[in-house]
Structure 1
Amino acid sequence: MLWSLVSILPLLSLAAAKDIQPTEECPLLGPTYSSDFDLTETNAFSEAKKDFPGVVKKIFEDEIVDPKVSSFTIDVFSTFTNKSIYSYSHQATEPSLNESFPEGGIGDKTIIRVGSVSKLFTVYAILAQAGGLEVFDHSVTKYLPELAQYPPKEKDNTLESFAWENITIGALATHQAGTGQFANPSIACFTPEKDNCSTSEFLREMLEEKVPSQPVFQSPLYSDGGFGVLGRVLEKMTGKNYNDAIQIVLSKPLGLKDTGSIIPKGDDVDAIIIPGGPPTSAWGFDNQLTAPSGGIYSNHADLRTLGLSILQSKLLTPSETRAWMKPRGHTSSLVTTIGAPWEINRLTLPVAPGSKHYRVSDLYTKGGGQPGYTAIFALSPDHGIGFSVLVAGPTAGGDRWPIRAAVGETFVAAAEHAAKENAAKKFSGVFGDGKSNMTLTVEKDHVGLGMENWYVDGVEWRANITQPALSLPKGKDLIVRLYPTGLETTEDDGSTIRQYRAVPEITPLNPRPAIEGGKGLFDDRCITWFSTAFYDLETGIIDEFHLKVRNGELVAVISKAAEKVMKRKNGGKTGA
């Protein structure tokens, strides 16, 4: 069914197209242009917003999503504007589950259940409460000594019992503890306070009745049961029950208004309420033992606040945020890796509208689903944007995936193209100081800022960026492109000084591996990650440049190695 979706989206998943190839150059992983600009002021994003209703219409027409029974809302947000930059809602025209909808229609503040997106709330709260990522290395028995006290069924039989002292918080958060699903149906009860639903009974079952699904840190295997344990860890850390812990650690400092693991109260709740209970609906099923894995209620407004707090490091330091948002385990897919608890999609983004060349960009997501409700939460650090998708109805379980594809393939790609558009207008041009000059370009099928030339006192210096400085072999060309590193500082006049890294490559390059249209198993071409920041005894680090940006425009390029400050001499120059 998804293949029919691919054929109608304006911005495709490139793996399906045989004539699509990686960029000629091998960019550094991460943003290829600055994301510090207003996406809504670009043609690329304006076109995406204009086209998106047609994308949804086509999904309906192709019967990928049934508009009669499916209700969904979409929100796209930006760190530059700190607000929503696009929203879309569809309410089922012939609802089949006796849903009740808010009087004014569904939208930004409409509450639904977000399923396993709850896992993200759980891990974020643990990290915020612990004050950083060191907690990932702690044994779970540090917080739950009960797991070390209960005698295992067969202490020395690794097929039958866990050595909980070897299971860390990080192993649980990345689905690599071997804890599998919940141990016994009795813990999935409606009234956790009754017999067989207590925390102590839950931990006893996890210890005595669970068997390992795999060795610790073997590989990611999805584990709802492990997040039940993490919920108990958060309770021990805060001295509060799970719902109160989320309120104290996340909702209060961030200003979340409608997020929690207890059913929203009141007669006029802005929510899609599906009656009936499991297996039709999860509404009101508030088991606090399973809540850390899939029991949160939330809406776009709170998810946007949560996403912005992560991208802007509101509760963690920037370095801790970057460490958290990294892969911690691989799957058997070439384009999906696992974090804590991120589901990281390695996107192949077209580098310009209509281009047949792509680059890799990581999208950090978390999906969730419960009876009647599903959700997708996604962050793109490369572009400073995020989005959420909330779905309700009898087909919600399947509908979230094509809707996610439509949103991601439209708006993440649009953000990539908008960054190129902005760079062409604000960063390309000629820069010089009278004796030295540099030309920066932005080209359609290429990424980053192209260093077309760089003359220092009349001598071409680009070859000096390579280690060691070289004379080009016959028939070979040198390309140099600049990529932002994320390091920057602010000057007294409000200008920012941003560090960019110059990456040299000799073309034509070696073939890509067979999986990318080349040959062989190994990629001997994309090696730029270990070809940067070398130190030259005479000039220092020659591939480091400082770009001075004022009011969003590049006004000067600074080379510490050449001791040159080259100021803008003309307007933009681009082939894009």
Structure 2
Amino acid sequence: MGPSKRLFAAVAAAAFTWTTLSGVASAVSFGPCPPLGPVLPAPVRPSADPDVQAAAKSFEGSLNALTAGYNASAVSVAVKSIHEDQPFFSFHYTPPHFNTSGTHKVDADTVYRIASISKLFTVLGLLLLDGVRMDDPVTKYLPQLRDLTRQPGDEVNEITTPDWDEITLGSLASHQSGLGSDLPIDLAAAPGNWTELGLPALPDNPGPGCGGTLLLPPCTTPELYRDFGKHHPVYAPFTSVVYSNVGVGILALVIEAVSGKSFDDYIQCAILDPLGVTSTFTRWPPSDTKRGFIPDTTPDKNWWDADFGPWFSSTDETSDRAGGFYSSTNDFLALGTAILSSKLLTPAQTRRWMKPRIATSSASMMLGEPWEILRTDNVTADGRLIEVYTKTGDIWGYDATFCLVPDYDVVASVLTSGFETGSAAVYKMCSDAVRELLPALEKAGKAEARTAMAGTYADPATNSTLTLSVDETGPGLSITDWIVRGVDVNANYVNYANGDGKFTDGAYVPSRLYPSGLKAGGGGGGGPQQVSWRAHWDSGSPQQNAEIDGDYVWATFHCVTWAELDRLIYKFNTLDDVVATVGEDGVATGLNLRGFRVQLRRV
């Protein structure tokens, strides 16, 4: 076992309590392990890249094959970079059979029901309220929740009654409140003799009598207070995940309580008007059905204008805050562009919002507020982890998903209408878009990085040089020939890491450079911009990585880059700190190695 491997074993055994050598904490990972997030700047001209064009054509072929058998289902799929005005992929399918009360031609302005993607608008609306924090207890705004009617005979305890003072707005948005899913979905309210299936006989009209489903009218706020307290909690808050439509309906009541406006008016003013979109609605205008695609089914089965109500309103309006919205491809792309560009929230608020809040029982899915975050490590050649932020919705015959890939500044929209698709097909379309388009976007980003960053930088006065290159399989920028004042930096990484002042002939440890996202200068005023990058040293081969990971039950246990950055400090500056000077054309002209106090110019 070599020195670096012994060090990692000690680190792992200590559960990331770093081994300290002569007072300097150090840890070593094995093999390329980039930080989570983008490893290069996202491509800004993907539509012009030949690899992206080829991938788009291939994806179009896949969708043509998929929809060839659809007789009465519409499909719209589009993918767009936030750096371009138009999508670099667009696909719309109009089936031969459709309801003539709707559109006859599907395009990017065709309106679809978006079901539970409505929750995204509700949570975003909450985030836009001044002074409201996701850590606030919901009773700060709706104290009357403490007094919900309980079932007769129920005592007040954690098994019968939600602890509303412990339920936060964030827990409602991320399905961690412990509340049940729905008020209206109650078999007792549905027709049928349920005693034939072993259920007990009940008095007349025992169900809630509202809900918008099962041919019932939408629920009102008084009915929430009358009936939802009779539904027992599933978990204590923050125990685990339970998908809750009611939870998002309660968030809409918070919006109304704080804003003083109806939910519909607030969403229009806070989100839809600033976006400039004209095909998104909190509920469907009855006089405008020609803009929507309506499946060719009997009226009582197409669910186009079914009002699922709830979930609650303090006004006479009954829009469904958890699943009643309508939207179009163009409007989805505008929303995604605004989110990733921080046009609605500040950059810091956007970054906070687009983070996981809790894991789920699926190793590939985490939840945000209300993001469904899918994780994949089999798309790019380097096998790194990539997160796709999604929100999916389905209502009998209407299935959709909204996908953001922050690492590539890309938004994707998948909208379907009809009974030949379904939620599995929609997820598959999003997955296929990631599988086919992201490798091409990766190549496009590398091609742009070669022009912008690759090359040799030097300062003859100090005998210092550094070469950056882009390879096809590795992440980030590869650093070679890193010489400072005549000393090979990569060959002395172990001496820096040991920090004891006793220098030995260490092995050469390769390093790579990754963007940190921090920038200064430039912008609207023009002039050069300072762009921050961070170096990371990788030791060990893929075989060594596999050997290390084989000793543990945790996948990719060797990859602890998050704990290794900014560890080699010299007079307050870090040796991995590299700041590039970038001209108005996006091309770097120099590097500032702040830890070494050396300025290099591109040669």
Name the TM-score, length of structure 1 as normaliser: 0.85
Name the aligned partner's letter for residue 486 of structure 2.
G
Name the aligned partner's letter for residue 374 of structure 2.
N
- Contact 1:192/1:288 (8 A) holds in 2: no
Separation (CA, whole Å) in 2 of partners of 1:165 and 1:37? 47
Q: Say which SS state the counterpart of residue 320 (structure 1) adopts.
A: helix
**In structure 2, do the counterparts of structure 1 residues 446 and 191 end up closer, same or farther at CA, with 3 Å as the change threshold?**
closer
Alpha-carbon deviations, 1:71-121, whole Å to 9, x = none? 1001111121244222111112345xx365524x21111101001100111
Q: Say which SS state the counterpart of residue 84 (structure 1) adopts.
A: coil
Structure 1 residues 291-440: aligned runs within 5 Å: 291-351=320-380, 355=381, 357-397=382-422, 398-434=424-460, 435-440=463-468
Q: CA RMSD for the aligned pairs? A: 2.8
**Cross-structure match for 2:497:** 467
Separation (CA, whole Å) in 1 of partners of 2:138 and 2:572? 51
- After superposing the two structures, state which structure 1 stretch, 553-562 or 518-527, moved more: 518-527
**Cross-structure match for 1:187:** 210
**In structure 2, do the counterparts of structure 1 residues 524 and 112 end up closer, same or farther at CA, with 3 Å as the change threshold?**
closer
Does residue 87 of structure 1 match 2:90? yes
Name the aligned partner's letter for residue 91 of structure 2.
Y
- Contact 2:114/2:323 (8 A) holds in 1: yes
Structure 1 residues 441-480: aligned runs within 5 Å: 441-463=469-491, 466-468=496-498, 476-480=507-511
- After superposing the two structures, state which structure 1 stretch, 333-342 or 393-402, moved more: 393-402
- Contact 2:149/2:228 (8 A) holds in 1: no
**In structure 2, do the counterparts of structure 1 residues 423 and 412 end up closer, same or farther at CA, with 3 Å as the change threshold?**
same
Separation (CA, whole Å) in 1 of partners of 2:272 and 2:526? 37
Does residue 520 of structure 1 match 2:518? no
Does residue 534 of structure 1 match 2:567? yes
- After superposing the two structures, state which structure 1 stretch, 463-472 or 217-226, moved more: 463-472
- Contact 1:180/1:223 (8 A) holds in 2: yes
Structure 1 residues 65-144: aligned runs within 5 Å: 66-95=69-98, 98=99, 100-103=101-104, 105-130=105-130, 135-144=133-142
Give the superposition deviation at 1:205.
Answer: 1.6
Alpha-carbon deviations, 1:251-306, whole Å to 9, x = none? 12222212122213435732102476887323112344231111101111211121
**In structure 2, do the counterparts of structure 1 residues 193 and 391 end up closer, same or farther at CA, with 3 Å as the change threshold?**
closer
Separation (CA, whole Å) in 1 of partners of 2:83 and 2:503? 43
Separation (CA, whole Å) in 2 of partners of 1:239 and 1:120? 21
- After superposing the two structures, state which structure 1 stretch, 440-449 or 197-206, moved more: 197-206
- Contact 1:277/1:285 (8 A) holds in 2: no
Separation (CA, whole Å) in 1 of partners of 2:575 and 2:420? 57
Q: Say which SS state the counterpart of residue 413 (structure 1) adopts.
A: helix
The one of 189, 203, 211 aligned to 2:225: 203
Name the aligned partner's letter for residue 390 of structure 1.
L
Separation (CA, whole Å) in 2 of partners of 1:283 and 1:60? 21
- Contact 1:512/1:519 (8 A) holds in 2: no
Separation (CA, whole Å) in 1 of partners of 2:93 and 2:216? 39
**Cross-structure match for 1:558:** 592
Separation (CA, whole Å) in 2 of partners of 1:191 and 1:271? 24
Name the aligned partner's letter for residue 320 of structure 1.
Q
**In structure 2, do the counterparts of structure 1 residues 228 and 555 end up closer, same or farther at CA, with 3 Å as the change threshold?**
same
- Contact 1:242/1:288 (8 A) holds in 2: no
**Cross-structure match for 1:572:** none
**Cross-structure match for 2:519:** 488
- Contact 2:116/2:322 (8 A) holds in 1: yes
Q: Say which SS state the counterpart of residue 46 (structure 1) adopts.
A: helix
The one of 135, 146, 149 aligned to 1:148: 146
**In structure 2, do the counterparts of structure 1 residues 477 and 471 end up closer, same or farther at CA, with 3 Å as the change threshold?**
farther
Q: Which has the larger radius of gyration?
A: 2
Give the superposition deviation at 1:556.
Answer: 1.5
Name the aligned partner's letter for residue 44 of structure 2.
F
**In structure 2, do the counterparts of structure 1 residues 43 and 565 end up closer, same or farther at CA, with 3 Å as the change threshold?**
farther
Q: Say which SS state the counterpart of residue 294 (structure 1) adopts.
A: coil
Give the superposition deviation at 1:204.
Answer: 2.5
- After superposing the two structures, state which structure 1 stretch, 295-304 or 256-265, moved more: 256-265
- Over the matched positions of the two proteins, sequence identity in percent amounts to 30
Give the superposition deviation at 1:401.
Answer: 2.0
Alpha-carbon deviations, 1:462-509, whole Å to 9, x = none? 3566534696877x5401000001001124653221100000122236
The one of 240, 246, 250 aligned to 2:267: 246
Name the aligned partner's letter for residue 393 of structure 2.
G
**In structure 2, do the counterparts of structure 1 residues 27 and 99 end up closer, same or farther at CA, with 3 Å as the change threshold?**
farther
Name the aligned partner's letter for residue 25 of structure 1.
P
Q: Say which SS state the counterpart of residue 251 (structure 1) adopts.
A: helix
Does residue 506 of structure 1 match 2:539? yes
Q: Say which SS state the counterpart of residue 141 (structure 1) adopts.
A: helix
Name the aligned partner's letter for residue 44 of structure 1.
D
- Contact 1:512/1:525 (8 A) holds in 2: yes
Name the aligned partner's letter for residue 77 of structure 1.
K
Alpha-carbon deviations, 1:399-418, whole Å to 9, x = none? 21222222222223322232
- Contact 1:330/1:337 (8 A) holds in 2: yes
Separation (CA, whole Å) in 1 of partners of 2:55 and 2:366? 28
Give the superposition deviation at 1:183.
Answer: 1.8
- Contact 2:490/2:508 (8 A) holds in 1: no
Name the TM-score, length of structure 2 as normaliser: 0.82
Separation (CA, whole Å) in 1 of partners of 2:470 and 2:395? 46
- Contact 2:73/2:295 (8 A) holds in 1: no
Name the aligned partner's letter for residue 490 of structure 1.
G
Q: Say which SS state the counterpart of residue 247 (structure 1) adopts.
A: helix
**In structure 2, do the counterparts of structure 1 residues 509 and 419 end up closer, same or farther at CA, with 3 Å as the change threshold?**
same
**In structure 2, do the counterparts of structure 1 residues 373 and 83 end up closer, same or farther at CA, with 3 Å as the change threshold?**
same
Name the aligned partner's letter for residue 331 of structure 2.
D
Alpha-carbon deviations, 1:211-263, whole Å to 9, x = none? 11122111112111211212222222222232222112211222221212221
Separation (CA, whole Å) in 2 of partners of 1:336 and 1:111? 29
Structure 1 residues 155-166: aligned runs within 5 Å: 155-166=155-166
Q: Say which SS state the counterpart of residue 419 (structure 2) adopts.
A: coil
Separation (CA, whole Å) in 2 of partners of 1:160 and 1:272? 44
Q: Say which SS state the counterpart of residue 304 (structure 2) adopts.
A: coil
